[in-house]
Each structure stands twice: as structure tokens, then as C-alpha cells.
Structure 1
């Protein structure tokens, strides 16, 4: 059986009291929640998955990298616990995925990617995964997909204080304190956190004779951060909000097995965004301004980038069948790197249209054109559709399809690094197609949903750094075809106060190299390095009254370490379990306590070759709400 559903968007305004049909293929692998984001509105035919709020709560004090690796079908390339972690979606590279925070892009303009290990789960309230090519919606980098992190503003909650603590193996100690106040027209919330881990776990050193057991050294991680969210209801149809996020991560860089390295890295990140929204009976007008400041110190080398963003769009309901959004975004980029300085201006124009010719049929059309430094990036259109071809009281069968084009402009390092940068690089381009079927069965106490997607993608002008004499230089030389299958399933059963829920996914990914780089290259026809063909994940949760227990597992297939596919890292599977108890002392005073055991079978594994990972480890969580 197959699953696909539509969700509904209610307007933000007191003047707009109607329900708008939102595109779905939103795979609610966990609890179904109603949410409304302009980025998600024009996505008929595409696949979105909202991360369950319970998963976010269970991973407080941990990074987004750990959450996505354990609770989603995505594969993340981890250099060790708390170390650099990059994402691959649908077989693309780390730089082919966009990350947004409250609607502003936070990928590094010098590296072209985000480090998921320094994005703490406590730094946002919602996380949404957009699978597949989405450059027409979001701009550069979104060839493989996008991750959206958002904060929520709440009103009429009065005073509220939260204290969260996590203690665990290998010196882990995380704390977060949050205070909020809101009335009918004003909302404020402040958060501070500190996350620490010694990471002195034991491992078998495969780089030494006999693979002796050793204790990991030089892998300590300490993170500090603070956030401030403010929102005002200026009038019944006007709202102003702002969010500020400062995050600092100090790391000893875990050396590869057999090495005695003692490198250190400091990441300092500051992000701020201001949103103004005005609503009428037929329109939503948004103005957004943002700043993203990143500083990376590696040993004595300092690299800084700054982004200043300004955007505006208007979303209007032309008729019951036709919706439209027109917008513009400007981004001024400054790079002060250890080997060069550069500036860049990026201007983007975009248009989105939803057309609903019938109650069971919907289409989305998205168009985007970027101009950077007076050069035109590839024009990026996308079109998608969804069709509910059968529906009764208990069953719904649906189908979706989409075709899209995406792009990635060369990073600052690609063009300006000294020595080797190539200012003549062209943008990477992709064309992708997706088709899917879905079914949901829902009775009073039982629900099962299934969705399957098939996709194919061609990426041209893939940028590869190659040796050129005494240094390396990037060129548009690689061609890759990605194709695969995604399957999602959710099963829920309720009986009185007992609830049983299973969520699972399976991803099959072929990322095939289509050309050789030289006469001696033997890459053609092979799988891209560190791109597993198989990943499966499942989570079983049992809830009774105030008690909750879960078992979670994920399995990742072999990963080749080079393009000739002659060597690989062994497949591995991990099993985790946890239990939590909720306590209510009064209407306002609540608490919860829980524990988790990760890698309960104490498997010896590596995500990347010769990068040690911990065995069995424990976590205890204590949360208090006042």
C-alpha cells in the first residue's frame, strides 16, 4: 500500500479566515502536524518530511548530524563524533544541499556547504527535509535537496522557564536554560546553552599491527550559544519578528587512526533575521533582512565570510484555483580568507504558481533566475503535480510527479583560492525527474501509510579539484547520473491509553560516474565515493500514559573510498533504545526524565575510513518546565 496526503494551511491573519490546500507529498513519518511555511506551499509533486518534535526533544544537547543519521533515511559523512559532518542527499555531494535558518541560507559561501556537527538541535524548533532538486524554489546549492530550520513564535503563554540537562558517556555534559514571556501582542524567548564532550572513547586501532584497543585522544568538543526571539503583532494584519543566534564551537580535531595529530578548530557563527509580514484578504507580503557571519580558525589560519541578505515577496490568492508568489532576493557576500579576499553580489528573481483545476488535482510551477557578479546563473524552472485518484472514508491513493532543473554556482574557494582558484568555472547544473505513489489507510484506532518514490538526476559540469603541477585546481569535468528509490512507512495503533507506532524508511541510491578524467582514470561506470547504495532506518515507539519507550535502528551499506571502487568501508548497523517518564506537579510545573543506550550491541564501526566511532554509550536527560 502506498501513502500520499494533502495538508491544509490556515492563514496568519485575523482578516483571512480560510483554509488553503498545501502541497503534500509531505511525508509525515511521525506525528502529523499542521504547519505553514511559504517555502513549502509551492511544492506539489515533491517530497518533504517534517522531523517529529519528539525526536527533537530526545536529541536536545546533541547535533543535527546525530539526529539525521539515526532518525532519517539520509546519509551523513562523519569524521568522528562531534567532528566535521556533511550531508549527501540522493547521491549528490556535500555542496549540493542547501541549509536554511528561518528562511535565510546559511551554507558557507567559501566552502559551499554546512557542517551539521555544529548545528545543535537546541538552536531551532522545527526541522524539515526537502528531498530532491529544489533550486527553482531556493536558489543555488539545492541540487540534492534542502534542510529548513525554523523558530516558532508563540503568544498568550505568559512566563515560562525551561531547564534541560544531559549527562552521558565520554564526558558528555549538556545544559540549556530557556526563558520566555508572551502576551497577546508580544512574544520573547531567550536561550543559552553549553555542550561538552571529552570523546575519550575506546576503539580498535586498525592502523596498527594487531589492531590494539586504544583510547581516543585529541577529540574534545565544547560549544556555547545564545538565542533571542522577539515578535510583535503590530496590528491584526501585521507582524514583526526577529531571531538572533550566536554559536561558538571549540574542537580538537580527531586524528585519523595511526596519526598523532593535534589540530584544533574554532567556529564562530552569528546569524540574525528580521521578518515583516502584512496580510490582507488575498495577499501575504513579506520583507526579510538577514546577516550571516562565519569565522573558522584552523590552528593559526583564520577564514571569515559575511552575508547580508534582503528579500521581499508577495503571495496572493488570485482565485480558488490559482495562487501566485513573486519575489526578489539580494545577497552581498564578503570573503576574507587566509589566501584571498573577494566580494560578490547575488540577485535572484523568482516566480511560483499553484494551479488547482480540480479538487483532486494540483500543479506547481516555479521559475528562478540568479545574477551573480553580472553573470547569469542557469535559469531554473520546475513543474510538479499531484493527483488523488481514489478516496473514501478510510483510504486515499495518490500519485505525484515532478521535473526540475537546479544549479550550484562555484564557491569562493573554487574561484579565488591562492594558488589554484579558477575564476572561469561554470555553474554546476542538474536535471531531475521524480515519480511516486502513496496510500494511507486510517480507521478509528489504526493507521498505516506508505510512500514510494523513484527519481533520476543528471549532474553536469561537476567541479573536481585536480593536480596541476605543484598545486591543485578545480575544473568543470565530472558528469554523474544519480537514480534511486525512497520508501517511507508509518504504522500507528491505539488501544485506550496505549499507543504503538513504527516509522521506517529505505533508500537505494545509485550515483554513477559517467566519464573518466584522464586516460589512466578508471572511474567511469563506478559509484561515487562515500555514497552508500543502501540505507534503512526504523523506529518503534510504545507509549502508555506518561511512559514512553523506543527502539531505533539504522543500517548503512558499504561505502567505496575511491572512484575506482577497489576499496570500501564495511557496512554497519546500530541499535539504540530509550525510555522516558513525564511528571506533572501542577498546571505549570512539569518535568521529564529519560535515558538512552546507543549502539547497545557495542559494534566496532567506521562511517569514514580510519575515523574511529564510539561503542556502547549512555545518556541521561532531565528536563524541567516552570
Structure 2
């Protein structure tokens, strides 16, 4: 963690710069340019949930924490702040795509994203798109996709936000961002930092989480310039993570892990008559270093560069028919002690269509075909429709074919990689319903996923583990989301948000539930708001989850509750002060076997809006 001092200094410099800005006396609602317009225009028949700013801020430690309490996704976390991977509708971590401003950022080595390495405060919008998204977003979008977007507007803006947090286990955190727009320019700059000794007690075990220290620093720059008939934009992000890996109930932690990720996206959009044409270029870089002993210099590592070039044209006819065609070329070059030097090229052709038949009925058809790489590339398709039968009831339907290509670890790992692997494929169908009963809004969805050629690492000759295409799985379940709000008067409001999911994910060969997929998961929050005060209680229930493929061992079901309060000073409304008490009842719980999660803890914060 030698770079901690540099990151703190960098943040202080930005805060000093940001503090010069002043908020305009009158602000108008800006016209926002969406970073990923496909999510809005070509997902009408899919379930898309956008998280509110208040929800993100109260669960700001990591993207894991944000989504754990506010979605039906289950997270396998090897101790707090350690490696965190999702199970979305019972699929594995590599079957959940993370989309940054329209680009899939899952690792080329593991095929997944570690959600503890991502700060949710870096984005203007975080959305959860349930269901297959392989046509639009490529490999891995099987169970669903998480969208991290930085939007922009050319309406005059001059605002700065600064946040400071301190909590149990010697945890300190700070974030700052400033947004300026003038004439035809837009600029957003921000940083986020968190560091923790992470030495929480194992509840009832007379043990402490030693060797679990972690640090995360990230910075962002988002810039745009308005042109005569379009715009040019640049999105950039840098993140650095330094973690000592925690031990378990039975082992002491010794190893450590450091990683760096940079992402840059340049876009040029021009409107020519009824056509909108966009050219984009992106560069993604990832590097990791694994230290078998955190006290020694020796490490094993790898790095990968991804270059993406795309050209797309969209036409919107008679305000009813939207058609988008896209060509995308990806080139990936990776190297490492365990995977050698390898590369991958992919050319993809995508066609998206949405037809609004009437104000109440619309449908979409999406197609994708890939070329050039070494796999038997499947032809992908999806179709969706939404029908608003009444003002209080809407029905949606979608179906899709999706896939996941083998990662570099799957293909080239020095001790067992298998370059004969074929892509995983899956078929999915979903039926959803939206209800409105006065102040109550409800969403009920039922889905079915059938997958084959799943990649699984199994013991081979000589005790080496090797990946093969063998598994067939069947996933089905039900998800329910409820939102209720009641206004006592102009200053007092009570709101309830709740979600529940039942997930059956079965290995058809073993006729057993897949590991780390609980049958039941529920969460929600109850919040009271007045003029200057906001108080809430937040709850999470995870049912038991099996930890072995024969379902002989499991992690127990648990419930965890958090409470919090935010207060705005009447005489200084731009300052918010508050605190949160996490794990109120000091519950012992595990997300991964023998990896206890934190005991009761407290966090206090101070936010400035300048």
C-alpha cells in the first residue's frame, strides 16, 4: 500500500480545486445525453432498474454493497472487501456482464468483474438490466448486466460535491467531484478513495479478521464538446486496488493482490437528416499482481490491452420505427506468467430494431453475428415486447439466445488450459408484469434459462485441474419488486422499497442446486423524510446456499439490518451530516464458507454540495 500517500495528495488537490466552484442560484433540469442509449431505446420488453442517488450514497463502500442491499443478485464475498463475484438469476460470475458507458469491461483473464474494486460514486447512473443481453453487449450477458454510465449535458452547470466518511475498523474514505459546463463544453472530474484496516471481530468466535487490509483509489474525467450537428466526448477512468487477502476460520491470510485498470472511450456523433452516426474508439487496460506472501516481493501477474473500434448508424422514422446497425472490431492482447502471450480478434455485426406500434404496444428484434475469432460463433438473437393494457397494468415478454466465450485463463493456463473449449450458449425467456395500485407499484417477473457447454474446471490426469465443456443447467425463478410512497403533507413522506426472489438453478447431470445460489433472497428499506431529516432502516435476508456440488454442505441463512440518519442543517442547507449503524443485531454470517463477514460497525459522514 505504498501508493496510499500519492492517492491522498491527489484527492486533496482536486478538493482544493473543486472548492472554488459556486452553485448557481437558479438551476433548470438539464437535457441529458445518454452514454448508453441502447439501454433506453432497445430494452422496452426487459426489466431495467435504475438505482437512485440516495440509495447509492448510503451503500457507497463498493458496488458489491450497493447491489447486495438493492437487488436480487447474490454475492460471493471472501470476507469484507475481498474478491466479490455475483450470481445473477443463478448464473455464475462470468455470466454477468458489467457495462461501462456501453462497453463490456469483464476481465479477459477471468471473464468476470470483481465488484469490490468498483466505486459506485464514480457514475451518474447505475442500472440493472435483467435477462439475456448477449446481442447488445456481447460475451457474458447471460443472467443480466450491470450498467455504469457517465451522462452529460450542455445546459449551464457549476456544481461541486465533496464527501468525507469515517467508520469502524479504522476505515477512512473521501470522494470529490466537480461538474462544469459553459458554452458548448462539458467537464466532469472526480476522485474516490477508501482505506481500511478491516480488522473486524468474528462474532462469537474470539477471532479477528487479521491480514484483511484494503485500499482503493479511483479517478475519472468525462468531457464533451457540442458540435454543429452532434458532439464529441471522452470518458476516462483509472482505478488502483491494493489488498491483503483475509484468511478463514481455519487458515491465516498470507497472500496479497494488486490491480490497476484504465478505461478510455472517445466518441464522435453526427446527425445527418434522419440518420444519427456515431464513431467510437476505446482502450481498456488491466494489470494484476498476485503475491503468495504479502511480506515478499515475488509475484505472479498478467496484463491485457483491449482496443475497440465501432461505427453505428441509427434512423428513427415517423416517431415509431427505430433501427440501429453497428459494426465493431475488438483486438485483445494479453500476457502473463501463467497464460503466456496470446491475442484475440473479433468482428461483430449487430442490428437492433424497435417498433412502437402505438402508445400502448411496442416490440423489438435484435440480431448479432461474430467473425474472425477461433470459435464456432453462435448466431445470437433476442426479441421483446411490451403491452400496456391499462393505465395500471402492463405486460412484457422477452426471449434471447446468449453466449460466453472462454477466457484466456480457460484456454491457456499453464497447468491445464484447454484451447479446444467452445463458447457456452443459453436460451432464455421471461414474462413480466407491472402493476399500479394507488401509491403502490409492483413488478413481478418469471424467467427460465437453459444453458449448455458450460465451462467447468474438473480434476484431470496427474491431479491437475482442467476446464471442459460438460455442464448443462436449468435456471428458473420468480422476482418481485414493490415500491410504496405516502405523503403525509408537503414536508413528510414515508416510502418502502422491497424485493424478493426465488431461484432454482440445477445441474441437470447431478440433479443438484448449483453452489452459492440461495433459493430465497429478500431485501428492502423503509424510509421517513421530512424537510431536513431522513431516517431509514435497511434489511437483507439470504437463504441457505450450498457450498459443495453434492449439496452436502452449506452456508446458513441469515438476516442483517442497518439503520441510518441524514440531516441537513437548516442554516447551511448545502451540508449534510449523518451516520449509519451496520449489522445492528451483531449477526454472524457468511457469504462464502468459513469466511465470516463484519460484526456490528458504525460509519459517520459529512457531505458538501457547493
Q: TM-score, normalised by structure 2?
A: 0.91
Partner of 2:369: 369
Return the offset for 1:281: 5.3
Matched, 1:528 2:524: no
Q: How big is the shift at 1:473?
A: 1.1
Deviation at 1:338, TM superposition (A): 1.5
Query: 1: distance between equivalents of 2:179 and 2:386?
Result: 41
2:258 paired with 1:262: no
Q: Could you list the per-position Cα deviations for residues 493-527 of structure 1 after superposition, in whole angstroms to 9, with x for gaps in the alignment?
A: 11221111111110100001111xxxxxxxx2110
Instruction: Report what 1:170 is aligned to.
Output: 169
Aligned residues: 571
Q: Tell me the equivalent position of 2:226.
A: 233
Alignment partners' CA distance in 1, 2:93 and 2:440: 34
Q: For residues 583 and 273 of structure 1, what CA distance do their matches in structure 2 show?
A: 40
Equivalent in the alignment of 1:400: 396
Report how far residue 590 of structure 1 moved. 1.2
Moved more, 172-181 or 278-287: 278-287
Query: Aligned partners of 1:332 and 1:562: how far apart in 2?
Result: 37
The question of whether the paired residues in 1 share the 8 Å contact of 2:287 and 2:304 is answered with yes
CA contact (8 A) 1:584 1:590 kept: no
Cα distance change, pair 604–315 in 1 and its aligned pair in 2 (3 A): same
Deviation readout 1:307-342 (Å, 9 max, x if unpaired): 111112112112333211110111111111212111
> 2:104 touches 2:138 (CA, 8 Å); kept in 1?
no
Alignment partner of 1:469 out of 440, 461, 464: 461
Paired residue for 2:413, among 404, 414, 417? 417
Report how far residue 408 of structure 1 moved: 0.4
> Distance between the aligned counterparts of 1:35 and 1:247, measured in 2?
20
Task: Give the conservation status (yes or no) of the 8 Å contact 2:36–2:102.
Answer: no
CA contact 2:119–2:218 (8 Å) conserved in 1: no
- How many angstroms apart in 1 are the aligned matches of 2:187 and 2:398? 40
Structure 2 residue runs without a partner (length 5+): 1-29, 292-298
- Contact 1:555–1:572 (CA<8 Å) still a contact in 2? yes
Q: Distance in 2 between matches of 1:360 and 1:488?
A: 22
In the other structure, the counterpart of 2:480 is 487
Aligned alpha-carbon RMSD (Å): 1.8
Quote the residue 1:24 is aligned against.
Answer: none
Change (3 A) 1:316 1:41: same
Give the alignment of 1:152-551 within 5 angstroms: 152-204=151-203, 212-235=205-228, 237-280=229-272, 282-299=274-291, 300-339=299-338, 340-391=340-391, 396-442=392-438, 447-470=439-462, 471-496=464-489, 497-515=491-509, 524-551=510-537
Q: Flag the 1:374–1:503 CA change in 2: closer, same or farther, 3 A.
A: same
1:189: Cα distance to partner?
2.0
Deviation at 1:280, TM superposition (A): 4.6
Q: SS where residue 358 of structure 1 aligns?
A: coil
1:48 — aligned with what?
Answer: 48
Question: Structure 1: how far apart are the matches of 2:549 and 2:32?
Answer: 50
Distance 1:599 1:212 in 2: 17
SS in 2 for 1:607: strand
Whether the aligned pair in 1 keeps the contact of 2:99 and 2:137 (CA below 8 Å) is: no
Distance in 2, Cα, partners of 1:11 & 1:281: 21
Is the 2:514–2:546 Cα contact (8 Å) retained in structure 1?
Answer: yes
Residue of structure 2 equivalent to 1:575: 561
Q: Distance in 1 between matches of 2:287 and 2:35?
A: 34
Q: In structure 1, what is the equivalent of residue 14 of structure 2?
A: none
Question: Cα distance, 1:194 vs. partner?
Answer: 1.8
Aligned equivalent of 2:23:
none
Secondary structure at the aligned position of 2:152 is classed as coil
1:614 CA drift (Å): 0.7
1:402 is displaced (CA, Å) by 1.2
Q: Distance in 1 between matches of 2:223 and 2:35?
A: 20
CA distance in 2, matches of 1:504, 1:328: 40
Instruction: Describe the superposition over 1:527-567 as per-residue Cα deviations: whole angstroms up to 9, x where unpaired.
Output: 00010010011111110012111111010000101111111
2:549 is the counterpart of 1:563: yes
CA distance in 2, matches of 1:129, 1:271: 21
Say whether the 8 Å CA contact 1:139–1:370 is kept in structure 2.
Answer: no
Is the CA contact 1:370–1:376 (under 8 Å) kept in the aligned structure 2? no
Distance 1:12 1:312, change over 3 A: farther
> Quick one: structure 1 residues 308 and 427, their matched pair in 2 at CA, closer, same or farther if it must change by over 3 Å?
same
Aligned to 2:120: 121
> 2:233, 2:363 → 1: CA distance?
32
Aligned to 2:296: none
Inter-partner Cα distance in structure 1 for 2:525 and 2:46: 24
SS of corresponding position for 1:359: coil
CA distance in 1, matches of 2:232, 2:532: 37
Q: 2:604 aligns to what?
A: 620
Q: Could you tell which deviates more after superposition, 371-380 or 559-568?
A: 371-380
Alpha-carbon distance change, 200 to 11 in structure 1, aligned in 2, over 3 angstroms: closer
Give, in angstroms, the shift of residue 36 of structure 1: 7.5
> Take 1:286 and 1:459, find their aligned partners in 2: how far apart are those partners?
34
Contact 1:290 1:309 in 2 (8 A): yes
1:43 deviation in Å? 1.5
Cα deviation for residue 466 of structure 1 reads 1.3
For residue 176 of structure 1, give the secondary structure of its aligned residue in structure 2. strand
- Deviation, 1:157, is 4.1
Bigger drift between 65-74 and 501-510 goes to 65-74
Q: CA deviation at 1:193?
A: 2.5
Residue in structure 2 matching 1:606, options 590, 594, 597: 590
Secondary structure of the equivalent of 1:112?
Answer: coil
- Paired with 1:132 and 1:432, the residues of 2 have a C-alpha distance of 7
Residue 103 of structure 1, CA deviation? 1.2
Separation (CA, whole Å) in 1 of partners of 2:131 and 2:381: 14
Tell me the TM-score normalized by structure 1: 0.88
In the TM superposition, residue 234 of structure 1 has moved relative to its aligned partner by 2.0
1:42 is displaced (CA, Å) by: 1.0
Kept after mapping to 2: 8 A contact 1:584/1:591: no
The structure-2 alpha-carbon separation of the partners of 1:179 and 1:42, relative to structure 1 and needing over 3 Å to count, comes to: closer
SS at match of 2:592: coil
2: CA distance between counterparts of 1:233 and 1:302? 42
Q: Alpha-carbon deviation of 1:133?
A: 1.2
* Separation in 2, partners of 1:160, 1:142: 35
